[in-house]
Structure 1
Amino acid sequence: MKIRRAGILLPISALPSPYGVGDFGPEAFRFVDFLKAAGQSLWQILPLNPTRPRYGNSPYLSFSLFAGNPLLISPEKLYEEGLLPKEDLAPPNFPEDRVNYPRVMAYKRVLLRKAWERFKPDHEFEAFYERERDWLEDYALYTVLEEESGRPWPEWEESVRHRDPEILAGLKKAYRERIEEVKFEQYLFFKQWFVLKSYANERGIFIVGDLPFYPGYESVEVWSNPKVFKLDENLRPAVVAGVPPDYFSRTGQLWGNPVYNWEVLEAQGFSWWLKRLAHNLKLFDILRLDHFRGFVAYWEVPAGEKTAVNGHWVEAPAQKFFEAVFRRLLNPSLLAEDLGYITSDVREIRKLFGIPGMKVLVFAFFEEDSPYLPHNHEKEAFVYTGTHDTNTVKGWFERELNPEARRRLDTYVGKSLTAEIVSKEMVRLAYASPAKAAIIPIQDLLGLGEEARINTPSRREGNWEWRLRAEALSPELSSELYELACVFGRSP
């Protein structure tokens, strides 16, 4: 990406929709049109993987790293294909501004079952299965077994946990119909996604995707590939992942995911990771690598700890890994999430392979001459006002900015700021930055407060629920953004 660009961060799930959660339907296409009219050329989304209420509905704690989230399938698109009758396009009254995940899951499950009953497997479906069978076979079986048992894989019978081939063959035969239905749901997901992505690309909009670093422990990846994780003889995590104390938490973040066994991964030529990256590079134009520092060194915490404080850093074979990535995947377009505690070795790996990093403005004013201040940004960087893990700019200004940091901010912009104008001023700082890409969360473009926050790290409930109201994408906002993009050389 050589030229200066501007874009918006908005998860698919946060799009307007009458069906309780954002999806790949008409409002997604309308948002692409809005981006083009507003002089934008980047749309950054969050991971598209399946979510579960018991995992906090987090797309970063999915039970599959390859599958797509069936909740994002558009009922309107199913109707257009003749897979739903028109009367099924009258949904119950879902909240407009929040996602009620249990209700949406129950509702969409009924619609997808009706679509399956109308569907006749064809060449296109069979071709999809053949392309994706490497991960799809295990995903479909896992999904059905979890449904049937009501429990995740660590609580299954020993023969199934340890993947006895004869037992698994019998289960595939016993649940054949439902397994095919799960494959069908994935077929619909990817078919609808690629139609939307093509529509965006044809209009000069590039999709920035997001790759979670770890799978959840209760995931199909850990069940089907236990050797690439540090598990004990009972397939329980010996150590778990997290990050040390930082901006987000004084006790660190204890994620609880099993960590990778990089010795095994390296011995396999990193094939598991290469398959995963290749899969996601088909889905997105630019791939953000979440927790980039984990490729260089990761925070390992003994299993059973209550916080992440008592962890330690463990080195990973970063240079060998990225040499394999760039050799096999032909110079992929990657973006490093290099926030938090970053050491010189992480910066060296990022620069060695020409992977741009992130600059976040809500981090910029807590210290003198912070690397996040716009005048310190590298030209290759991506600049943000905030991310899905931070407060909105208005919420940050009202709740988190101490007096000294507020003084620095006022001095930097040359005026005394208020909660009503701070978001616009921060957006201008991002657009004026030397960084080649400026991506702004939609909440900051609308000047919304803490109520519109997407995620609060370490909070167990209430995350990933915020949704955009359709009327917010106004012609006035489009014109304002287009003017900013032109003024700061970010319009295509």
Structure 2
Amino acid sequence: MTTRRSGILLHITSLPSAFGIGDLGCEAYTFADFLEASRQSIWQVLPLNPSAMIYGNSPYSSCSVFAGNPLFISPEQLVEEGWLPPDALENRPAFREDRVEYQPAAEHKHRLLRAAFENFRDSGLGSHEFDRFCIENGSWLDSFALFTSLKEESRGVAWNEWPPELRDREEGALAHWRLRLADRILQEKFYQYLFFRQWFALKKYCNEKGIQIIGDMPIYTSYDSADVWSHPDLFKLDGEKKPCFVAGVPPDYFSDTGQLWGNPVYDWDRLRETRYAWWVKRIEHNARLFDMIRLDHFRGFVQYWEIPHGEKTAVNGQWVPVPVRDFFDTLLRRFAFLPIIAEDLGIITSDVREVMAAYDFPGMKLLQFAFGEDLPVNAYAPHNHTPHGIVYTGTHDNNTTRGWFSRELGEREKERFFNYIGKVVSEEDVHWEMVRLAMRSVAHTAIIPMQDVLGLGEAARMNLPSVTYGNWEWRLTSGQMTEDQAVRLGEMSALYGRA
């Protein structure tokens, strides 16, 4: 983190592909080549875990914090590796190139993945490597595969509504269903094997080009997940395994009623008794997947907003302290280095800053937040940045720079922005001025969303937090990355010592 460098934020779903959603196939390698050609050394992605249409396809709401998303598996690579015959990719549906079509993409991919599994099961191809994968990942894989199989068997019913013997994980009932659903369980494990096989091949390709990958780790888990079902004692649940409290944030200048996320909150006393074994395993898992890990909602590791289950808003909650020093000290006894980036956006208190400083965790600076009335003292303004940090033009939760400029920036803010950069610029050119501001910052690391490299408008926004559906759909089309863009970005990176 002490070397000046820069990179691009682009999620896997946003890559081009012929199968309705970005995947780990040839276009992922093409994007890595673009990073190399534009002299970038970082690729930042969002969580790789399975998403669900019931949760608006958000990568931050998943049935597992350990598993990978089977929709990211490349069918073309399955053909190359012999899992599918070449004609399996013929007669595929016609998908949109510019947006993810989750439902038809999932239906088509699952047909292909099922065919690949049947070929694996019948041929035994790669069985030794598969067996080794299952052994190495058994601490989460066994429960995940059983959980997803039971979810399908129960037609999607939440696990707390399963028969009590399954809800409470009675060993006799689990053994019965492991036998009954053996083929389905094996299939789920095979999908995970394929995902991680393809992911680590891509990561190796990137690392060999000098490109590091920053991953994103949500602090909380979804209630209806293999994680909560497998470890109910680590969460504040009642006797029927329902949440006693849920997570969120209190009212602030963004919302009079706060944000009610609904995730079950951790029982940090119980976690401390286990010496944070589940978290140690989770950090270890993500440290293998990524070179750096962005911890989402870092404030929640110091103190979290706890809301009684059943409340309609986040107003009636309370702050609950976390044994943060004991937690991170425990991690440091397990890991020589914690490759952590703290997501510290929003209202951050002094105790959070003290923890970040104590463990040398870099925070985030967003340029879109810099041009208010407090510009001279605004922490997001480039002249107030510090070297140990990461500067972004925006993130997946923000508008694109062009959309921000044209739809969100008032006239007085525009005037301050023009005064700051020393000239008046048009909507067509504003993205390069913001990229230049990020590159010029003293912050060691600069990350640019791909939409801002391309100068795309609001339609290319990845996520609008207040909207449940229609997010996470933007996709890069194969013709949008050009040599001219790579040259311009590379020259700017070199000029400011980031190449």
| TM-score relative to the length of structure 1 | 0.98
User: In the alignment, which residue of structure 2 is the partner of 1:99?
Assistant: 100
SS at match of 2:188: helix
Q: Check the 8 A contact 1:431/1:438 in 2, yes or no.
A: yes
Q: Please say if 1:113 is aligned against 2:106.
A: no
User: In the alignment, which residue of structure 1 is the partner of 2:328?
Assistant: 322
User: In the alignment, which residue of structure 2 is the partner of 1:203?
Assistant: 209
Q: 2:270 aligns with which of 242, 250, 264?
A: 264
Cα distance in 2 for partners of 1:173, 1:329 equals 38
Q: Check the 8 A contact 2:305/2:319 in 1, yes or no.
A: yes
Change (3 A) 1:407 1:251: farther
Q: Render the CA deviation track for 1:329-378: whole Å, top value 9, x for unaligned.
A: 11121111011110000010011001111001111112412100011111
Q: Render the CA deviation track for 1:161-211: whole Å, top value 9, x for unaligned.
A: 111110011000100011001100000000000000000000000000010
User: In the alignment, which residue of structure 2 is the partner of 1:128?
Assistant: 133
Q: How does 1:41-440 map to 2 (within 5 A)?
A: 41-90=41-90, 91-119=92-120, 120=124, 122-150=127-155, 151-246=157-252, 248-368=254-374, 369-440=377-448
User: Sequence identity, in percent?
Assistant: 54
Cα distance in 2 for partners of 1:410, 1:316 equals 43
The number of aligned residues is: 491
User: In the alignment, which residue of structure 2 is the partner of 1:472?
Assistant: 480
Q: What 5-or-longer segments of structure 1 have no aligned partner?
A: none
Cα distance in 2 for partners of 1:354, 1:426 equals 27
Cα distance in 2 for partners of 1:396, 1:298 equals 30
- Which has the higher mean CA deviation after the structures are superposed, 399-408 or 23-32? 399-408
Q: Could you tell me which amino acid in structure 2 is paired with residue 375 of structure 1?
A: H
Q: How far is 1:26 from its partner?
A: 0.2
Q: Could you tell me which amino acid in structure 2 is paired with residue 344 of structure 1?
A: S
Q: Check the 8 A contact 1:452/1:466 in 2, yes or no.
A: yes
Q: Check the 8 A contact 2:9/2:450 in 1, yes or no.
A: yes
Cα distance in 2 for partners of 1:275, 1:468 equals 34
Q: Could you tell me which amino acid in structure 1 is paired with residue 466 of structure 2?
A: S
Q: How far is 1:311 from its partner?
A: 2.1
User: In the alignment, which residue of structure 2 is the partner of 1:486?
Assistant: 494
Q: Which runs of 4+ in 1 moved over 6 A?
A: none
SS at match of 1:470: coil
SS at match of 2:479: helix
Q: How far is 1:246 from its partner?
A: 4.4
Q: Check the 8 A contact 1:384/1:440 in 2, yes or no.
A: yes
Change (3 A) 1:194 1:250: same
- Which has the higher mean CA deviation after the structures are superposed, 479-488 or 394-403? 394-403
Cα distance in 1 for partners of 2:410, 2:76 equals 48
Cα distance in 2 for partners of 1:486, 1:248 equals 38
Cα distance in 1 for partners of 2:165, 2:370 equals 53
SS at match of 1:254: strand
Q: How far is 1:254 from its partner?
A: 1.3
Cα distance in 2 for partners of 1:214, 1:376 equals 31
Q: Could you tell me which amino acid in structure 2 is paired with residue 99 of structure 1?
A: V
Q: Render the CA deviation track for 1:217-252: whole Å, top value 9, x for unaligned.
A: 111101110111111111111111112234654432
Q: What 5-or-longer segments of structure 2 have no aligned partner?
A: none
Cα distance in 2 for partners of 1:249, 1:482 equals 40
User: In the alignment, which residue of structure 2 is the partner of 1:31?
Assistant: 31
Q: CA RMSD in A?
A: 1.1
| TM-score relative to the length of structure 2 | 0.97
Q: Check the 8 A contact 1:248/1:457 in 2, yes or no.
A: no
Q: How far is 1:158 from its partner?
A: 1.2
